[in-house]
Amino acid sequence: MARVVVLGVPGETGLWVADLDAGTVTAFQPPAGSALDAASKLRASGAVILKGVDFSVAVKSADDAFSGHLDG
């Protein structure tokens, strides 16, 4: 099972890598010409790409998430 997730947030052009085992999140620029670079370009044009993740939701803050709030 994958323990690393690449994600993007609406309104931000960059991507992030979340390493669940290490507990880290790092800014990420995919290598030029890579599959992730192609996906990032699709995202920039408005596409939503989802693979290997079965739940994702954006909230205003970590406090909202820890309080169980679903909408931000």
Instruction: Tell me the per-residue pLDDT of 23-64, one tens digit each, with 9 for 90 and over.
Output: 999 999 999 999 999 999 999 999 999 999 999 998 888 998
Structural domain includes residue 72 = no
Question: Domain count of the chain?
Answer: 1
1 has pLDDT over 80: no
**Residue span of the structural domain in which 28 resides:** 4-66
Structural domain includes residue 48 = yes
72 has pLDDT over 90: no
Structural domain includes residue 11 = yes
Backbone φ, ψ for residue 35 (5° rounding):
-60, -40
More confident residue, 2 or 31: 31
Residue-level pLDDT at 28: 95
Average pLDDT rounded to a whole number, residues 11-29: 94
What is the identity of the amino acid at 30?
P
* Strands, E assignment, the chain: 4-8, 15-19, 24-28
Cα pseudo-dihedral 61, 45, 55, 9, rounded to 10: -20
